[in-house]
């Protein structure tokens, strides 16, 4: 959440995504192999150089040479994505996200139904079927269990 705090300082409220964002909702500490944050395309184009050259290095992260929007450091890669990248994969739009706050850090998160939609659609793709099949199935099951509660 240090990164979200730094982004808040430059008036960006990131959207948490993936297993990190899901764990914020369900309160379970599942395996988090990476951290995905989404920002608007405008925020990305306006602030990318500052994020890449100043904020991330100050947090101990370096840009990944093979993935231009991914950073490595502290054993957990961080990806910063544009909202348009996610909108290509799903029908979910930023105005549907819920604004959250944790220790005075503001961010947006998806609902459980939105996570369910994303993981189910992800299972249709070749990459996720090959690389994340078991993990995604476990997440889908966990989401469904929480939706029943």
What are the residue ranges spanned by the domains of the chain? 2-111
Q: Which CATH architecture has domain 2-111?
A: 2-Layer Sandwich (3.30)
- CB 23 within 8 Å of CB 33: no
- Pick from 68, 66, 65: which is nearest to 48 by CA? 68
- Which residue do the tokens 């150089």 mark? 49
3-state secondary structure of 48: helix
pLDDT in tens, the chain (149 residues): 899 999 999 999 999 988 899 999 988 766 788 899 999 999 999 999 999 999 999 999 999 989 889 999 989 999 999 999 888 777 777 778 889 999 999 999 999 998 998 888 888 876 656 666 788 888 899 999 999 97
**What's residue 127's pLDDT?**
62
Hey, which residues does 28 pair with through a beta bridge?
none
**What's residue 130's pLDDT?**
63
**What's residue 79's pLDDT?**
95
**What's residue 92's pLDDT?**
73
């Amino acid at each position: 959440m240090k990164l979200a705090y730094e982004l808040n300082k430059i008036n960006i409220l990131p959207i948490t995504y993936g297993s990190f964002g899901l764990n914020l909702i369900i309160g379970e500490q599942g395996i988090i192999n990476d951290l995905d944050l989404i920002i608007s395309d405008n925020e990305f184009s306006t602030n990318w150089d500052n994020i890449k050259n100043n904020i991330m290095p100050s947090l101990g992260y370096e840009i990944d040479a093979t993935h231009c929007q991914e950073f490595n450091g502290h054993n957990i890669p961080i990806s910063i994505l544009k909202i348009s990248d996610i909108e290509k994969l799903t029908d979910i739009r930023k105005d549907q996200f819920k604004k959250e706050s944790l220790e005075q850090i503001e961010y947006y998160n998806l609902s459980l139904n939105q996570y369910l939609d994303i993981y189910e659609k992800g299972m249709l793709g070749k990459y996720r079927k090959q690389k994340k099949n078991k993990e995604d199935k476990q997440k889908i099951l966990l989401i469904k269990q929480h939706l029943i509660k």
